[in-house]
Amino acid sequence: MGRMKYLLLLMLLLASAPPLHADPHDEHAVVLMYHRFAEDRFPSTSVRLEQFQAHLAYLAEHDYTIWPLSRLAEALRENQPIPARTVVLTVDDAYRSVYEVAWPLLRERGWPMTVFVSTEASNQGRADVMSWAQMREMQQSGLVEFANHTHSHPHLPRRLEGEDHEAWQARIRHEIDTAQEDLERHLGVKPPMLFAYPYGEYDRSVAHIVSERGYMAFGQHSGVVGRHSDRLALPRYAMAESWASPERFALRVRSLPMPLHDFQPWEPRLGEQNPPSLRLNFSRPGLSGQTNCFLGDGTPLDVLERQSKSLTVQNPRPLPAGRSRYNCTAPAGDGRFYWFSQQWLNID
């Protein structure tokens, strides 16, 4: 099933289900993730200029509050209020089009953004990424902050050939520490303690290293950041050409965090069970019967068990090598929906 068919199926399911009602006290923020802007030869990671302009226009027309990511992190850590309709704009990899395309449009509106930088590319002066001078210019505006995306952008959970656990740990710590040191040295300020996993890939071992260094960490799995979201696996909605239409954008920025007590398993890395099962334990009644779950490509998941406050689902076939996702949604009333996503890693 293609992405457009998936979107149509999701909208039909939401329209036909009796609505639940969102809790106005369930404070949350939607975090968006971009990579490239108007680099149309990279449709899997770039948004077209007219798409990005439409995104900004929608946020302005509907009176959204735009925060830098560090402000959201502070609100979560300190239990401070989060305004309704809060959105955070983040960008991974610091490509040059951030400076040339996105930055002028955001500067006109006085809106902040947070850029996650893999520092080796800028150290090498690569032509497709921003220079340190350009980043300093943006930072000096007071609207742009830069945060840690490792030094060389590796697949963090994956071991190199012949690498034992201790050597792997040392390498990952070096990746994170080197990037933080580069950011502080070149930009002249202490970077926020925010971390984005390269490719959105993490497992318990990676998250432990990130946690011991004091970071709040973000993936690339879809969903909304709520008060009870896991601070080592916070979701972001990816924005790229094929899923950045105005309709999809509006669905995402209006979505809500799935009200869960917990879910199992937390570990994204597959063990012996493939396909994996996912159990959602809801914090309020009525959600289990309203929730529909799909593989990232739109394939409906099999329901293994549905109880009054829990739901267990599984893909009908083993997951392929690499990254996969289970996406679960439920109607929340007023055309909005709850969203939860769990990433899976099928790697050696």
Residue 323: predicted pLDDT: 96
Q: Which CATH architecture has domain 262-346?
A: Sandwich (2.60)
Tell me the domain boundaries of the chain.
Answer: 24-255, 262-346
**Integer Cα distance of 146 and 110 in angstroms:** 17
24-255: which CATH topology? Answer: TIM Barrel (3.20.20)
Strand stretches in 93-169, DSSP E: 113-117, 144-148
**Phi and psi torsions of 95, nearest 5°:** -65, 155
User: Which residues of the chain are under the pLDDT cut of 70?
Assistant: 1-25
Residue 118: predicted pLDDT: 98
Residue 18: predicted pLDDT: 38
Residue 348: predicted pLDDT: 76
**Phi and psi torsions of 327, nearest 5°:** -115, 130
**Integer Cα distance of 209 and 12 in angstroms:** 42
**Integer Cα distance of 139 and 3 in angstroms:** 36
The two domains 24-255 and 262-346 share their CATH topology (first three levels equal): no
Half-sphere exposure of 325 (CA within 13 A, CB side): 21
pLDDT digits (tens, 9 = 90+) for 169-179: 999 999 999 99
Indicate the pTM of the whole model. Answer: 0.92
Q: Return the sign of the alpha-carbon dihedral for residues 37, 38, 42, 45.
A: positive
First to last CA, the chain: 28
**Which residues have a Cβ under 8 Å from the Cβ of 240 and sit 6 or more positions away?**
35, 43, 44, 45, 46, 47
SS3 of 240, please? coil
Residue 285: predicted pLDDT: 87
Residue 258: predicted pLDDT: 96
Place of tokens 């996406």: 327
Residue 25: predicted pLDDT: 45
- Selection from 148, 166, 163 nearest residue 94 by Cα: 148
Residue 14: predicted pLDDT: 39
What token pair was written down for 120? 């080796």
